[in-house]
Amino acid sequence: QVQLVESGGGSVQAGGSLRLSCRTSGITHSNYCIGWLRQVPGKEREGVASFWLGDGSTNYEDSAKGRFTVSQDNAKNTLYLQMHNLEPEDTALYYCAARYWVTRQCPKDSSLYTNWGQGTQVTVSS
């Protein structure tokens, strides 16, 4: 069974940085997408970035380009979302999610992800 556990959230001031971690278990092959998504109360869940385990391909939504980076530590079965130059608009509950996927273009539709972590809160103050 695929399981994901996020950590690393917290409170920072605008312009600061955080690194979120997503520890995975139960993923036994590389045809998987790992997505980073976020949700603000009262709003739809939105994608931030994605990572295809097959070849390490990444994709970033416009809100994340130039500020966020996804990376992987294979030995630790962990993916990271490094966030720099955070803005108050980045305040949200951040999730990592997984989906069996055979191409490097991970899904943008959050409803297609089948396994989710519990989320970690990021709060950015101005």
What are the CA-CA distances from residue 15 to residues 3, 10, 44, 58 (Å)?
32, 14, 25, 24
Q: Residue 108's pLDDT is what?
A: 87
Average pLDDT rounded to a whole number, residues 26-54: 95
Structure tokens at 107: 């899904």
pLDDT in tens, 105-117: 999 899 999 999 9
CA 108, chain centre distance (Å) = 12
What are the CA-CA distances from residue 107 to residues 9, 17, 33, 76, 110 (Å)?
24, 26, 8, 25, 7
Q: Residue 47's pLDDT is what?
A: 96
pLDDT higher than threshold 90 for residue 29: no
Q: Residue 11's pLDDT is what?
A: 98
pLDDT in tens, 51-77: 999 999 999 999 999 999 999 998 889
Helix/strand number for the chain, H first, E second: 0, 11
Distance in angstroms (rounded) separating the CA atoms of residues 23 and 118: 12
pLDDT higher than threshold 90 for residue 101: yes
Token pair 């709003």 in the structure block, residue: 43
